[in-house]
Structure 1
């Protein structure tokens, strides 16, 4: 995919202009260098990724922002309202020094913030072009904007949640004994697109002992009667906002005698965490709400990851729902609530919903039943 390829509809000009100006304000005197990726998509409505030729949005502390872009890539920005946004465009061709062009707009800057996932080849070259400026990450600046979703973003996340719910509703079509995880995963991947996503970003089908590995993907393991199967799936809708939902299935009666009792603990833990979400509480308190239920049942050692992660233009973004994160939750913050219990070498289970903090509580964006679905 080209670094200049727009994906889906571009947000309203007024929205984008506000985001660019808020980023400048949040930077508080620090120049910003934003490479293609989710941060640039948030600011300009533009998708894609970085390649060997530099493309970057330069937002100086004072002065006109500029998009530095290879001339060969410039036609791809035709749908982006750069003039209306008050953003200059500076093109370059092979043989030019694009880093000097970017540095020219930041001359005299004492500090520049570079977007977190800018390739090292660009980071180091920009450092050489701005030798007197302290270089820091832009993530802490941009995340202050992106953590708090506006109404349009929340609506996009609702639609993504509904789309992935429709896929989970169809899992029984494909999950049965004699099929491999990879075969089931291929059907799910196709359904993710059929149900309204632009693409499938990830498909986890963890059957039997593979379910005890939280980030297992797919394998040639043949699914057997009695297996517990973790299905964790998601992807972006055309606007770029992501779904992410996990449900756990059993292929017939579970073979392990401890499955039903353990799963009941997991279900109670996930519900306790969702019920704890509201403005004014800390991110770590949501993690504690889930973890305390699992620990009280003597299963704490089998819950081996954080309770959740933020979601939006990235599947994983701020805020992270984890012990030690004292961030106060505010309306518009969206994140997963996904405790899991993993029995090494035997089976695992996870329940995951995306939720949004509302003015007085929480709105879950996934509506599929939480109970163990026996097929």
Structure 2
């Protein structure tokens, strides 16, 4: 029942809590409560699991952050993590009012705080009592913390680059796994093992969409057997021990593709290249989406591109910034996200091409380098 702490990713994180406090003050938020999940992992540098007992990092806009957690889980490793984050530690025992303690260290028990934020991962069993004790509604921490998490440090980019290289190695082995006669599920089991072999802690997701299943962007796997002539979409990823994730999609042809498939895939490849080439600081996310979408529309494939162009990535597979037609987020150096246009013909076939990129000072760095063409197996 102790928190899970690996120390493989332990780094001083006091700068992150300090930046969060500054953002809270600028946003008019008095105090934030970060619960176990990706937000707390970002702030502490490690993941904590507290089960049903309350664990939260309390970050006031003014004052010292405090990690509140059960006494039985306050190991030396946890104290070390809190210290690196510039946080004090307060513990509680069964029978004590943990919510009251969290409110007290946050300076909100006396009703002084008018604006309180909680992380997305906050469980209802804690948020409802917290809100009831405050006598006021809480807001999401996401708009504030996303601003910080979206811009990666050099260390974070190095972790994402390592994740990209690891998943590229899996895609380069795809001929071992994708074979006519195997079911999608059987292929996924082989890919799952390879993802771990290539350095991930586990596979966070595996999509193997063969033939008509490839036309479903969020297909998982099924017992359909792969047939000669199938176009197969393989979307895979997961975290390294650092916690930073990979996410890459490639499309494969089981034998030579038809002239139509080859031609349309080439247009998809061109669309993705145009979106990648458009990446630079100061451009808005919707312009990245438009760069590839306009090309597909110009060749009559626009209606078959039915989702956004991409999503941010880091400690979560999906996080800010989101690359979509309705996003006016202005890209900044250090932002990392996917570029993954797709074309889908319901009941027939589909294709998607996905890479992770990072905004540099004057352009873009590509973190995936496995072949992007329609690979014939």
| TM-score interval for Structure 1 and Structure 2 normalised by the shorter chain | over 0.9
Indicate the residue corresponding to 1:125 in structure 2.
Answer: 129
CA contact (8 A) 1:308 1:320 kept: yes
Indicate the residue corresponding to 2:263 in structure 1.
Answer: 261
Distance 1:6 1:285 in 2: 41
Distance 1:84 1:257 in 2: 58
Q: What SS does the corresponding residue of 1:72 show, helix, strand or coil?
A: helix
Task: State how 1:88-127 maps to structure 2 within 5 Å.
Answer: 88-105=88-105, 106-107=107-108, 108-127=112-131
How far is 1:30 from its partner?
A: 2.3
CA contact (8 A) 2:10 2:46 kept: no
Indicate the residue corresponding to 1:63 in structure 2.
Answer: 63
CA contact (8 A) 1:4 1:76 kept: no
Structure 1: give runs of 5+ residues left out of the alignment: none
Distance 1:117 1:268, change over 3 A: same
How far is 1:24 from its partner?
A: 0.4
* 1:19 and 2:21 matched: no
Distance 1:253 1:341 in 2: 19
Indicate the residue corresponding to 1:181 in structure 2.
Answer: 184
CA contact (8 A) 1:6 1:76 kept: no
CA contact (8 A) 1:226 1:253 kept: yes
Task: State how 1:152-301 maps to structure 2 within 5 Å.
Answer: 152-254=155-257, 258-301=260-303
CA contact (8 A) 1:8 1:240 kept: no
Structure 2: give runs of 5+ residues left out of the alignment: none
CA contact (8 A) 1:310 1:320 kept: yes
How far is 1:149 from its partner?
A: 0.4
Q: What SS does the corresponding residue of 2:362 show, helix, strand or coil?
A: coil
Distance 1:355 1:44 in 2: 25
Instruction: Report the TM-score when normalising by structure 1.
Output: 0.95
CA contact (8 A) 1:356 1:365 kept: yes
Instruction: Report the TM-score when normalising by structure 2.
Output: 0.95
Give the CA RMSD over aligned residues: 1.5
Cα deviation, 1:112-132, whole Å, max 9, x if unaligned, reads 110012111211111012114
Distance 1:229 1:248 in 2: 6
